[in-house]
């Protein structure tokens, strides 16, 4: 799947935290949510370090691409959809990020792992599948053969739009919780961060980051809708071209039969 689809898959993995109310109360607040979204999004791109070209490979931090050389080395020795798309890689990542829990708490490493796992689940829905039990070469799939997706297809464009809507609902759900805090306590991160002119206060960088995600969401959704419309247009043109070609072939066949009858 494309990096945009993986990105939104990763962010949507945070919905799993809603299943535990005690966790959701902490995770979906203005202080934690932006960091969790960033961790899940980053984790969702990590498995493609083994790809010849990927978003994570060219991710730039201050003009430096820290993942460029590791990505080239991993791709050269392991190839695409190898070790990094397996259960072993997920477990290794869990061990590596465990120390982060002492500084950032356990929610951020969990979001990173959820994002990574979402990438494996998404690729397991494609026709190529993933070597989940690497080093075994067998490819595993989550969907029956008839429902498996092809990267860049119309089906993926439709899926992308659905995922984008789910991300919007996640952000709206968080903003609603801010309003609930405001109603109960008279002051919340939401009300404290919106000034009288509708501008954003600098007193709450957490909410500012959350609102900035709406801009990223809108840009990605616009790109997704544009891709979807292009795919639909292309499919309709191909269908129309096929119908015209079929009619042309049928017409020539009819003319040949008529000519043979006349010759006979």
pLDDT tens across 200-217, in order? 334 444 444 444 444 555
Check residue 1 and give its pLDDT. Answer: 87
Check residue 256 and give its pLDDT. Answer: 58
Cβ neighbours for 77, distance < 8 A, ≥ 6 positions apart: none
160-to-4, 5, 167 alpha-carbon distances in Å = 8, 5, 10
Say what angle helices 33-45 and 3-12 make with each other, to 10 degrees.
Answer: 140
Tell me the whole-structure pTM to 2 decimals. Answer: 0.70
Check residue 40 and give its pLDDT. Answer: 94
Check residue 106 and give its pLDDT. Answer: 86
Check residue 44 and give its pLDDT. Answer: 95
At CB < 8 A and 24+ separation, what contacts does 25-32 make?
Answer: 26/107, 27/107, 28/173, 28/174, 28/177, 29/174, 29/177, 29/189, 29/206, 30/174, 30/178, 30/189, 30/190, 30/193, 30/204, 30/206, 30/207, 30/210, 31/189, 31/206, 32/107, 32/206
230-to-164, 191, 222, 227 alpha-carbon distances in Å = 18, 41, 12, 5
Check residue 41 and give its pLDDT. Answer: 93
Q: How far apart are CA 6 and CA 163, in angstroms?
A: 10
Q: Which residues of the chain have pLDDT under 50?
A: 188-214
Q: How far apart are CA 97 and CA 149, in angstroms?
A: 31
- Cis before 41 (ω within 30): no
> In the chain, what are the domain boundaries?
3-263
């Amino acid at each position: 799947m494309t990096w945009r689809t993986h990105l939104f898959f990763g962010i949507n993995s945070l919905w799993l935290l809603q299943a535990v109310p005690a966790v959701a109360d902490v995770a979906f607040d203005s202080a934690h949510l932006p960091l969790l979204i960033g961790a899940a999004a980053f984790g969702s791109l990590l498995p493609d370090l083994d790809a010849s070209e990927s978003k994570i490979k060219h991710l730039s931090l201050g003009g430096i691409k820290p993942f460029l050389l590791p990505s080239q080395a991993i791709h050269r020795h392991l190839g695409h959809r190898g070790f990094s798309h397996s259960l072993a890689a997920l477990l290794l990542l869990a061990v590596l990020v465990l120390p982060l829990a002492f500084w950032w708490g356990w929610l951020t490493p969990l979001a990173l792992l959820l994002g990574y796992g979402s990438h494996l689940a998404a690729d397991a829905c494609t026709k190529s599948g993933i070597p989940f039990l690497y080093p075994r070469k067998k490819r595993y799939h989550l969907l029956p053969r008839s429902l498996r997706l092809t990267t860049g297809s119309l089906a993926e464009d439709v899926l992308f739009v659905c995922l984008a809507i789910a991300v919007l609902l996640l952000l709206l759900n968080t903003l609603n919780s801010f309003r609930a805090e405001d109603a109960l306590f008279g002051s919340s991160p939401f009300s404290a961060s919106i000034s009288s002119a509708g501008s954003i206060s600098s007193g709450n960088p957490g909410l500012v980051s959350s609102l900035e995600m709406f801009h990223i969401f809108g840009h990605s959704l616009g790109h997704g809708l544009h891709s979807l419309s292009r795919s639909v247009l292309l499919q309709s043109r191909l269908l129309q071209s096929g119908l015209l070609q079929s009619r042309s072939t049928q017409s020539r066949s009819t003319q040949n039969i008529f000519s043979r009858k006349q010759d006979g």
